[in-house]
Amino acid sequence: MTASFTPRGATPKSRMASIGAVAVAGALLLTGCGDQTNKATGGSNTNSAPLFNQLPKEIQSAKVIKVGSDINYPPVEFKKNGQVMGIDPDIADALGKQLGVKFEFNNGTFDTLLSGLRSKRYDIAMSAMTDNKGRQEGVDPDTGKKAGEGVDFVDYFTAGVSIYTKKGDTKGIKTWDDLCGKKIVVQRGTVSHDLAKSQSATCLKNKKGKISIEAFGNDTEAQTRLRGGGAVAGSSDFPVAAYAVKTSGGGKDFELVGDQVEAAPYGIAVAKKNTQLRDALKQALALIIANGEYDKIIAKWGVKDGAVTKAVINGGK
């Protein structure tokens, strides 16, 4: 990632039209996150599913795929009364039907998910994780140096990054350049965090004052800080920012400013050596795209502009 970046549209048309539909889903489903305990979702426990035999033997025996996920990122994944729900769990449920296994969601902070995958605590990581070359190659975004084994991604959605502020108090912010000399809140280890650090370096180079960045373990904490006046802006993936804008305080807390930038795919992360699981997941995704179940899930959550039309491995740049 370079210090200077330019917006690249996520889709031919704006995703702004999808916010209202996201809000409807939010009004129906979000009443607060429950205790974050393990949750298994989807799939049949028999070997009659079309892709069961494509899975590694150990997963066939367990009939479970262990998922590392930061389950506090509505509408992508969150909890209501202990029930894991959202875009990712619904897609996992559909994949499980094709694979004949359950997807068991295990909660963890976002910046520890890949290390959990490497240590085999999880079989996959599925948590609105942007597929990019750095993660594929195991490169530290701060140092640009190899920090560990990379991962492969099965790409299943596309989203950009958005900025939001307190409603009616934008401080004139419309672009990332407008954040120079100001304070922003983000979730630690995310693309928003990387962009904030990169833009801050550009601000300093242009003698406009660095961006003060406060990073949190989850996006809800960042929103709370902004709501309380601890910063002038926040940034997160578009579906999440849009959901917060429409649901927080009944739509009275925040507003989106400017356009999305850095549109990129979300990917299911799989260990480099686990090619059999990676390929089975790709086949399962292709099947639910072909049979229309994927489109139904995307429409349910009001994010159709982020839908993919085919299953791709490592499509991120």
| Per-residue pLDDT at 140 | 85
Q: What are phi and psi of 134, to 5 degrees?
A: -60, -45
| Per-residue pLDDT at 141 | 82
| Per-residue pLDDT at 34 | 36
Is the model's pLDDT at 203 over the cut of 60?
A: yes
The residue assigned the tokens 């209202």 is 20
Task: Answer whether the bond into residue 89 is a cis peptide, omega within 30°.
Answer: no
Measuring CA to CA, which residue among 172, 177, 168 is closest to residue 196? 177
Q: At what angle do helices 275-290 and 87-99 cross, to 10 degrees?
A: 100
Q: Which domains does the chain have, with CATH numbers?
A: 52-159+264-313 (3.40.190.10), 161-262 (3.40.190.10)
Q: Is 237 helix (H, G, I), strand (E, B) or coil?
A: strand
| Per-residue pLDDT at 144 | 87
Burial of residue 224, with CB atoms counted within 10 A of its CB: 0-12 exposed, 13-18 middle, 19 or more buried = middle
User: CA-CA distance, 188 to 53, in Å (whole number)?
Assistant: 38
The total of other beta-carbon atoms located within 10 Å of residue 31's CB is 10
The mean pLDDT value for 133-160 works out to 92
Which of 2-6, 136-140, 186-190 has the weakest average pLDDT?
Answer: 2-6
Is residue 86 within 8 A of residue 75, CB to CB? The reply is yes
CA distances from 140 to 89, 178, 264 (A): 28, 27, 18
User: CA-CA distance, 305 to 132, in Å (whole number)?
Assistant: 20
pLDDT tens for each residue of 250-309: 999 999 999 999 899 999 999 999 999 999 999 999 999 999 999 999 999 988 889 999
Is residue 110 within 8 A of residue 190, CB to CB? The reply is yes
pLDDT tens for each residue of 99-112: 999 999 999 999 99
Which of 6-15, 52-61, 76-85, 97-106 has the weakest average pLDDT?
Answer: 6-15
The mean pLDDT value for 105-129 works out to 96
pLDDT tens for each residue of 211-253: 999 999 999 999 999 999 999 999 999 999 999 999 999 999 9
Measuring CA to CA, which residue among 222, 132, 163 is closest to residue 7? 163
Q: Which two tokens stand for residue 148?
A: 């560990």
pLDDT tens for each residue of 44-71: 445 789 999 999 999 999 999 999 999 9
| Per-residue pLDDT at 40 | 55
Which of 114-123, 167-176, 297-306 has the weakest average pLDDT?
Answer: 297-306
User: CA-CA distance, 169 to 257, in Å (whole number)?
Assistant: 11
pLDDT tens for each residue of 15-51: 333 444 444 344 434 433 333 345 555 444 457 899 9
The residue assigned the tokens 């085919």 is 310
Q: Which two tokens stand for residue 111?
A: 């910046």
Is the model's pLDDT at 7 over the cut of 50?
A: no
User: CA-CA distance, 296 to 238, in Å (whole number)?
Assistant: 20
DSSP 131: P
CA end-to-end distance (rounded Å), the chain: 10
| Per-residue pLDDT at 41 | 52
